[in-house]
A and B are shown apart, each in its own frame.
Chain A
């Protein structure tokens, strides 16, 4: 949220809704809830949302977990649990041929230490399944 100091010296939060957020995970949480609402309709009691988040998606699972429940509640979707699966990217070492999963890109090949590699995937970001409660 944008902040400024008003004439009295007090800190003012400038809440402009979707445009007034200061980390993109909040915009992304809104996108997820929008997607869920489109799919499920409003007023459903959603207990769990399952996501897959690749290490090259540019999204922090931690930041998403932080803002998600409050936002969901504000939108009348309860306080769903967010399960985030963070699979590694698949990598083939171009020097020794070893194939491995990689999450931290400053790590070299676990066998030969090389950074000369072919990276497959890693940028996936999907909602996989939702669990709803019927009462």
Chain B
């Protein structure tokens, strides 16, 4: 055996290419069924499921929900009680959903697509890991609740630099918490200019209708593009 020789091979490939390819297929599949895909990303306890329950009272059977949690199907049960079709993904430890898991969830839900207009995907509660994975959504939503504090945007820039919508949630707690709403928006704008902000409370329903109207506009734009 001779001396080992080393050679260098140029690759230049995006690491997330495989996930992104599946995400693009998911997105196309939803668009063809005239369904708007929505990826909800926020900390555990920021009010994602409560928001979805509130949205269910407005959108009814037009909304389907894919729930991502490490364990239990508690959230899917809550959504079904609120009147929407739900599919639970239990990641068994993983801190994020990926496009493949969503593709499999869509396989399960597709036979019931008939009345569906919105596919809300509630990601695993986490501000970091889900930001690296596109799922095939048309709208990426970052949630930040009032009790979490107004200093979080620049602590988690990878998420807030990618969102289409910033939702400040639990605004019913504003009277008892110190929270500067302008700071949150200004810091998000220091990462990117292309987001829309809403303030709402899933508990009282305040602001939820405006968010649903925005989603309706987005869905109509999807039909025009198709």
Contacts and interface: CB of A to CB of B under 8 A. Distances in A.
Interface of A: 1-2, 14, 16, 19-24, 27-28, 31-32, 34-36, 39-40, 45, 47, 51, 55-59, 105-106, 115-119, 122-135
B122 to A, nearest CB: 17
B8 A131 contact: yes
A55 B132 CA distance: 12
Given A16-B93, A51-B15, A127-B15, 12 more contacts: A20-B92, A23-B129, A24-B128, A28-B132, A36-B11, A56-B161, A105-B190, A106-B155, A116-B189, A119-B192, A125-B15, A128-B11
Nearest to A47: B6
Contact of B11 (A19, A124, A130): A130
A56 B191 CA distance: 10
Contacts of B70: 2
A75 to B, nearest CB: 16
A128 B116 CA distance: 42
B154 A57 contact: no
Contacts of B154: 105-106
B96 interface: yes
23 contacts: A27-B96, A28-B132, A31-B15, A35-B11, A55-B157, A56-B157, A56-B158, A57-B158, A58-B159, A106-B154, A106-B155, A115-B186, A117-B190, A119-B191, A122-B161, A125-B132, A129-B9, A129-B12, A130-B8, A131-B9, A132-B7, A133-B6, A135-B4
A59 B19 contact: no
Interface residues of B, number: 46
Contacts of A45: 4
Given A34-B18, A58-B128, A23 B95 contact: yes
